[in-house]
Structure 1
Amino acid sequence: MSTIYLIRHCETTGQAPDAPLTPGGEEQARRLCTQLLELPITHLISSPYRRALDSIQPLATALKLPITREDALKERQLSAVPLDDWQDHLRQTFFDPDYTCPGGESSRIATERITRVVDEALQQHDGSILVTHGNLLSLYLHSIDPTFGFEESLQLKNPDIFKVTRIQKQTIIEHLVAF
């Protein structure tokens, strides 16, 4: 049996890779640290985006653990161009894993990259925390539980925590309440 934790970053000021946390997001990061200190954490792995790194930095400081930056945990790019009806396109990606917008990444490709990181952590780094983003996290959850779809993805919070346990070849997801 192996267990890791998937975390959606805290509240942010925007979607750009260098967008910082809001003041409320900074407080969430401190509270998240307090909550996660109760867990047997061995590794911290994060998206390279600032909002993800800043969300886990208080825990890294408290545990004196380095944060490994993992490009495969960055958010999925839905499109390279602005879309007025982006939520309609996003909804479509839950029904058609190969659907892509101009310059965007399909759900299939995005799911494959997060699944590789999760599988590696479950095999090699029991007790890891992986910090990522809402859409990518939703796609992973959808791959494990197809009833977790677009509407459920809209219910994710900042931050949000999921415990992922692998027992033999079965993956079990448990939604933990943040604070």
Structure 2
Amino acid sequence: MRKNIYIIRHCKAEGQPSESQLTERGFMQANELADFLTNKKVERIISSPFLRAIQSIEPFAKSANIEVEIDSRLSERVLSSRSYPDWLEKLHATFNDVELKYEGGESSKEAMYRIVKVVEDIVASGADNTIIVTHGNIMSLLLNYYDKSFGFEQWKGLSNPDVFLLQFIHNGFSIEHLWKRTF
């Protein structure tokens, strides 16, 4: 058994709300991403319902003639329903304490298991090559699940877009960072 899951962080967006669309640069990045993915054998595309995630993969999906499936489990993790001026420090704390939960938010552990369940469903499916399009924080939590060295500093180093390959072969797995910044 060999399963390839391309984990993609969305391109540059105008903001954080779910309806935020890509910036002009983000739309150019989406086309660069489509070019990058052209030679990948992809059978399924599953995206966060957030507009910026869908817009990031649309050029590739159209060129590959693959319908984009929407899965709310790929939505960005909600840190809190409150706005904190020190949100970065609070986010950092959730990487150190995966049970830590702020008002109206999700703990790292809760968000991690939400996205891990998507991966488990993909591995159990008939598709061998799948793309998931998601967001930086929850993507980091997924990568941390498989590689404990992937933490807050690595999250800070992610780009928009970014691409990792999570590959399952028999009873093992590997993670490879595929995207090289082009700007």
TM-score of the pair, normalised by structure 1: 0.97
Distance (whole Å) between structure 2 residues aligned to residue 73 and residue 159 of structure 1? 15
- CA apart distance, 1:142: 1.0
The percent identity for this pair of structures is 40
Which amino acid is the alignment partner of residue 113 of structure 2? E
Any unmatched runs of 5+ in structure 2? none
Which amino acid is the alignment partner of residue 149 of structure 1? G
Match of 1:138 in 2: 140
- CA apart distance, 1:169: 2.6
Match of 1:105 in 2: 106
Which amino acid is the alignment partner of residue 143 of structure 2? L
Match of 1:160 in 2: 162
TM-score of the pair, normalised by structure 2: 0.95
Identify which range, 164-173 or 27-36, moves more after superposition.
164-173
Any unmatched runs of 5+ in structure 1? none
**Could you give the per-residue CA deviations for residues 5-54 of structure 1, whole angstroms, max 9, x where no partner exists?**
00000000000000000000000000100110110010110000000000
Distance (whole Å) between structure 2 residues aligned to residue 80 and residue 19 of structure 1? 18
Identify which range, 97-106 or 122-131, moves more after superposition.
122-131
Distance (whole Å) between structure 1 residues aligned to residue 158 and residue 171 of structure 2? 26
Which amino acid is the alignment partner of residue 29 of structure 1? A
Distance (whole Å) between structure 2 residues aligned to residue 159 and residue 169 of structure 1? 30
- CA apart distance, 1:171: 2.1
- CA apart distance, 1:119: 1.6
Which amino acid is the alignment partner of residue 50 of structure 1? L
Match of 1:66 in 2: 67
Which amino acid is the alignment partner of residue 45 of structure 1? I
Q: How do 1:9-158 and structure 2 match up within 5 A?
A: 9-124=10-125, 125-158=127-160
Distance (whole Å) between structure 1 residues aligned to residue 179 and residue 65 of structure 2? 25
Which amino acid is the alignment partner of residue 130 of structure 2? S
SS at match of 1:44: strand
Count of residue correspondences:
179
Q: CA RMSD in A?
A: 0.9
SS at match of 1:136: helix
